[in-house]
Chain A
């Protein structure tokens, strides 16, 4: 079946611009997660959605980062006024329910901020 999909696969932007990253989870999965993977920092949790609500936003690094999920499905991660330190691979994962269900990861969006 279809897995988690993300778009775009690569995004190059200039410092100060806003970007939107999209995640389409596996159909029927109620839980959705965003992680960031960068050299030297490993995999960092950003935000968790259960349905359309985000009960855990503890990993968002600053108020420039926000995310929403609509219809219990697609999620968008928005980074405003991008900085060079935002450069990373942004991974989305979904699970049938919240942890401890296995999280299935998408291919990621590689963000490069020049």
Chain B
């Protein structure tokens, strides 16, 4: 059974601090997706990582992919309150149709 595991599931951070969210998956997928969800809102695509070693950055967020280790990381630099949200990673399902999501990491940034 394909599994996608994120940790931590809950993260409380102070503004200005750095932290990393980890996403482990059990398939041999070469692609990994990161989404953000604000409370009561839908999912917003953040990054699509398409190959081993891929690194993408947007503002204070940087995502990377190591397909050999089946691991992706989402690094947060100098957190600000606006980053408070739930972050999901996802991989391609084995049928090549749906995405399989992790349970999400709920990030809370406080001053």
Contact = CB atoms under 8 A, between A and B. Distances in A.
Interface of A: 33, 35, 42-43, 45, 48, 55-56, 58-59, 91, 93, 98-100, 102-108
B28 to A, nearest CB: 14
A48 B104 contact: no
Interface of B: 31, 33, 35, 41-45, 48, 50, 88, 90, 92-93, 95-104
Contact of B43 (A45, A56, A105): A105
23 contacts: A33-B97, A33-B98, A35-B98, A42-B101, A42-B104, A43-B90, A43-B104, A45-B93, A45-B97, A45-B98, A45-B99, A48-B97, A59-B98, A91-B42, A98-B97, A99-B92, A99-B98, A100-B31, A100-B50, A105-B35, A105-B44, A106-B42, A107-B42
Q: Which 4 A-B pairs have the closest CB atoms?
A: A45-B98, A43-B101, A48-B97, A56-B97
B92 to A, nearest CB: 5
Pick the most buried of B42, B50, B88, B93: most chain A CB atoms within 10 A of its CB.
Answer: B42
Nearest to B45: A102
B43 to A, nearest CB: 4
Contacts of A102: 33, 45, 48
A96 B100 CA distance: 19
A101 B101 CA distance: 15
A110 to B, nearest CB: 9
Given A100-B50, A102-B48, A45 B100 contact: yes
Contacts of B48: 100, 102
Nearest to B92: A99
B88 A43 contact: yes
A99 B97 CA distance: 6
A12 B18 CA distance: 42
Contacts of A55: 97
Contacts of A56: 95, 97-98
